[in-house]
Amino acid sequence: MSNKKVTTLDDEFKKNPELKREDIDIISKWVHQQSHLPKISDLKIAFFLHSCYYKLEPTKSCIENYYTIKTRCPEVFKNRRFKEIKPNCEIMVQYVLPFKTQEGYSILFVKLIDKNPEKFVHLTCLKGLDATISIHFHRNGTSEGHVLIVDTDNCTMGHFLKLNLLISQKYIYYLQQALHIRIKGIHLLGSNVLVQRIITTFKPFLSSEIFRLVQIHKSLDELNVFVPKDVLPKEYGGKSPSLFEMRDESLKLFEEYDDFLARDDLEINDESKRIEKVTNCDHLFGSEGSFRSLAID
């Protein structure tokens, strides 16, 4: 049974000696001067400062990117509600494991548990992933970093062909330039040809810094060089819950924190109040906010 808990600003101060009250105040004052931005709590400002290693100007850019993308991409970031996400939970595990790496990194584990591509909806998958991350921060706050593990064992060409590249590019940009998270590793477990095709398709969207973090592992032993076996799910020889236990726990969390997600969805810009019309995201969006087109080769 999941515990409904919420992290606090005091927790962040205790965890992170680099976090300074004066830096939060500086960013808070800047936010209030940006008439288009929503009201942002000191706790969330602490998350952004942490992700940017407490550098003020990068933190401001991260905040601007975060709320601009959330506002311009409602198809991804709006209606991340339990009823919307529930079907995805029934076919896919997206879960932050209870144990961390030796470096103190949290581990986000992803795997399809239903091989039928007819049940796979890419947009709902991204909503579920983002809701998982939001709830994790709401409950646990920051960590030294985050590692993503994707077991591709049940992925098929049928799943690949249902991927929406426009939405993918939006979300990848968001992960790299906007979300208050320190990405420390991306591990793809699987040896099929599809893994390499996935890498080839998404490489143009990845910064060189993030692309260097991507590792492909043909076996569990290869993954264990980077992530210890004992922190992984039971099926992988670890102490974390089984895949189906994680699925059930995710369903409970989404239901328990549905009100939080509803409030979080409302934290978007009022673009009518924006004074400076040029944003960091304009190279991706058209003049009217439409996303530039892409095609699969």
User: pLDDT tens-digit profile of 57-99?
Assistant: 999 999 999 999 999 999 999 999 999 999 998 999 999 999 9
**Residue 107 placed within a domain:** yes
Stated as kind and residue range, the H or E segment containing 108 is strand 105-112
- Per-residue pLDDT at 288 exceeds 50: no
CATH number at residue 85: 3.40.525.10
Q: List 216's β-bridge partners, or say none.
A: 188
- Whether residue 292 has pLDDT greater than 90: no
d(CA 107, CA 90): 21
Q: Output the pLDDT for position 1.
A: 41
Query: Collapsing DSSP states into helix, strand and coil, what is residue 25?
Result: helix
Q: pLDDT at residue 17 above 60?
A: yes
What is residue 192's predicted lDDT score, i.e. its pLDDT?
77
**Considering the domain boundaries, does residue 91 fall inside one?**
yes
Assign 267 a pLDDT band (cuts: 50, 70, 90): very high
Q: Is residue 98 part of a domain?
A: yes
Per the domain annotation, does 53 fall within a domain? no
pLDDT in the model for residue 38: 97
| Closest C-alpha among 105, 30, 95 to residue 67 | 30
Tally the residues of the chain: 297
CA distance 139 to 29: 26
Average pLDDT along the chain: 91
pLDDT band at 2 (very low <50, low <70, confident <90, very high): very low
Under the banding of pLDDT at 50, 70 and 90, the label for residue 291 is very low
Domain that holds residue 167: 81-258
Say if residues 36 and 269 touch (Cβ distance below 8 Å): yes
**Residue type at 253?**
L
Domains in the chain, number: 1
For residue 5, is it within any domain?
A: no
pLDDT beyond 50 at 218: yes
Q: Does residue 272 fall inside a structural domain? A: no
Other Cβ atoms closer than 10 A to 101: 20
pLDDT tens, 164-191?
999 999 999 999 999 999 999 999 999 7
Say if residue 127's pLDDT is above 80: yes
The arithmetic mean of pLDDT across residues 217-244, rounded, is: 96
Of 156, 202, 166, the residue nearest 295 (C-alpha): 166
Question: What is the C-alpha separation between 157 and 193, in angstroms, rounded?
Answer: 10
Structure token digits, residue 297? 């080769």
User: What is the rounded average pLDDT of the residues 233-254?
Assistant: 96
Structural domain includes residue 173: yes
Neighbours of 166 (CB within 10 A): 14
The reported pLDDT for the residue numbered 293 is 39
**What local confidence, expressed as pLDDT, does residue 297 receive?**
39
User: Considering only CA atoms, which of 82, 89, 39 is closest in space to residue 260?
Assistant: 82
pLDDT of residue 295: 38
pLDDT of residue 3: 56
- Tell which residue, 294, 296, 275, 274, has the closest CA to residue 72: 274
- For residue 283, pLDDT over 70 is answered with no
Write out pLDDT tens, residues 22-58. 999 999 999 999 999 999 999 999 999 999 999 999 9
* pLDDT, tens digit (0-9, with 9 covering 90-100), for 128-163: 999 999 999 999 999 999 999 999 999 999 999 999
Q: Is 237 contained in some domain?
A: yes
